[in-house]
Each structure stands twice: as C-alpha cells, then as structure tokens.
Amino acid sequence: MSDFTSNFWSVYVSGITIISIAACALLLWFTGKAKAMTASDNTTGHVWDGDLREMNNPLPRWWVGLFIITIVFSVVYLYLYPGLGGSPGSAGWTSQGQYDAEVAKGNAEVAPLYAKFLAMTVEDVSRDPQAHAIGERLFMNNCSQCHGSDAHGSKEFPNLTSGHWMWGGTPDKLIETVTGGRKGQMPTMAAAVGTAEDVKNVANYVLSLSNNPHDSVRAELGKSKFVVCAACHGPEAKGNPVLGAPNLTDGIWSRGFNEAGIINQVTNGRARVMPAQGGRLTEAQIRVLVAYVWGLSNNVAAK
C-alpha cells in the first residue's frame, strides 16, 4: 500500500522520461558522428540477390530535423506542463482548471437560453416544452444514476414521481434540496425502545400504520413504545420534513417494508446522503431540473 502513498512511482516515471529523452539525443548525436566502413563505391559490402547493394548514405535532413524537433518539443512540454512527478509546470495548467473553463464557457453560451426560465415560476417552467426537454437531459446526466431513468427510484433511493417527499415537495424546497443536498440520519434506537421483543413489537406497530401484514397483538404492544420514535416521525407517524423523517403511514418504503427490515433499521440505524448539485449546476439549470422533477410528481405535462 505504501507504493500508492509515497512518491516512488512519480520519481520512477520521471526518471525514465528524462533518461529516454537524453538517450534519444545521444543516439542522434552518435549516429551523426559515427562513420561506417564503406567500400570505394560508398557501399557497406552487403549484397542481396546477386547485385542489390546497400548504400551508406546519411539520413535525410528532414528526418533528422523532425527528430530534433521531437526532442525539443518534449523538453519544452515538460517545462510548461505537469509531466515530471509533482512538478506543476510553469504554465500552471491543470485538468481541473481546463474543465472549469470549458464548463464556464458552455454555461455562458447557453445563458441566454436559460435567462427566460429564471424569470418564470417553477410551475410555468414545468409546462414549457423546451424547458421540459432540457430538464430531462439534466436529470438523465445528474440524477438518473440513483433515481433511475424513469425517476421511480430503487432500494435506498426514493421515487420522485410519487408526490411523497421527506424534506418537502414545494418548488422552493426542491430547489433547496438539489442545491445543498441532504443528509438523513436515523440513529440506532434499539436501546431506547427496550428489549429485542419491544423492538419487534414496534416494528409490527409501524407495519400496522400503513396496513402492511403484521401481528396485531405485537402491534398493540408496540404502540406505547413508539413514543421514542415519535420525537422525529411525529405522534401520528406522519413524518417531519424539517428533519427529513419519513411518513410511516403512507406505505411508501425505500427500504425495510417488512418486520425484519424495520427491526434492522431500528437496531442499526441508517444514514443517507444526497450530494449537493449547487457547485456543479448553475442556478438556472437547477431551476429547470426542479421544474422537470416537480412536474413528474404533480402530473404536469409540457404543452
């Protein structure tokens, strides 16, 4: 593992690079100075097919010139750009800097297109066919990896078309979510609930709230123990958008929709993170993206 944390390979590759350039220069110099033994007719003495003789002519000047240019180019390139270990190069170029410049250029080119969307409400943007098409591409490029190309989500990733939101589904809340990201944390609650039997009873009570298959006797016993869960999910288990605590009565589960799954969550807790997109997308892009997602969950069709 030390090979990846030390600068050994960086120094190794730098050394090979410098030696290779120097060797090419020496080879060119040596071949220009060396004199091959030739006969009086300027041949090397090698004969093929009876009369095909090898001449001892110097390399073409254009070939030598290209060789020299290649060596000079290599030296200049390594001086200007990062190519020798940790040396940043005198030009100050970085791949991240080039990427940022290209993104900034692209954003500037499409700024006039997005300008009109900034002046519209999210609801109106969701009905605009052009904005819908742009929002769909933004979603496919930035959100579909987790939420799926159809936005129906999967295990651990919520369905964005259901209209059920842990952090709130208003346009402003969605913009806040996309811009700053979200960090959801359910602490381990088994010790607070009580014994393993108490945890099992609470799991059945939670299942009963959404009319999922459950043990009614255990559910009744778990009702009083749910009070420790109500601190986040509310006394009626309707959830709390401020904390990102989900509604336990709507039957929508991204994980643990059976007794074993709920017991696992209560016992081990869980953490979920949605990365912030504010540093990657512009304000206008986020607005168009949110309009697209908001339209999916509110059955709004672009016209």
| pLDDT band of 147, cuts 50, 70, 90 | very high
Mean pLDDT taken over the chain = 88
Mean pLDDT across 44-49: 77
Asked if domains 100-181+275-297 and 185-274 share a fold, the reply is: yes
The tokens for 92 are 């100050």
Instruction: Report which of 211, 250, 142 is spatially closest to residue 151, judged by C-alpha positions.
Output: 142
pLDDT the model gives residue 303: 58
- Which pTM was predicted? 0.71
Q: Is the pLDDT of residue 213 over 50?
A: yes
- Contact indicator for 140, 289 with CB cutoff of 8 Å: no
pLDDT number for residue 117 = 92
Least confident of 67-71, 110-114, 201-205, 291-295: 110-114
| Res 59: pLDDT | 78
Confidence of residue 2 (pLDDT cuts 50, 70, 90): low
Q: For residues 8-34, give the mean pLDDT.
A: 88
As a whole number of angstroms, the distance between CA 124 and CA 302 comes to 9
Q: Could you report how far apart the first and last alpha carbons of the chain are, in Å?
A: 57
- The predicted pLDDT at position 1 comes to 46
The pLDDT assigned to 301 comes to 66
What confidence tens digit (pLDDT) does each residue in 74-92 have?
Answer: 999 999 998 888 888 899 8
Does the pLDDT of residue 133 top 50, yes or no?
A: yes
Which superfamily, per CATH, for 100-181+275-297? Cytochrome c-like domain (1.10.760.10)
What are the sequence ranges of the domains in the chain? 2-80, 100-181+275-297, 185-274
Top CATH class of 185-274 equals mainly alpha
The predicted pLDDT at position 255 comes to 67
Confidence at residue 302, expressed as pLDDT on a 0 to 100 scale:
64
Do the Cβ atoms of 120 and 128 come closer than 8 Å?
A: yes
The angle formed by the CA atoms of residues 254, 258 and 262, to the nearest 5 degrees, is 75
Instruction: Name beta bridge partners: 182.
Output: 274
Is residue 236 within 8 Å of residue 226, measured between CB atoms? Answer: no
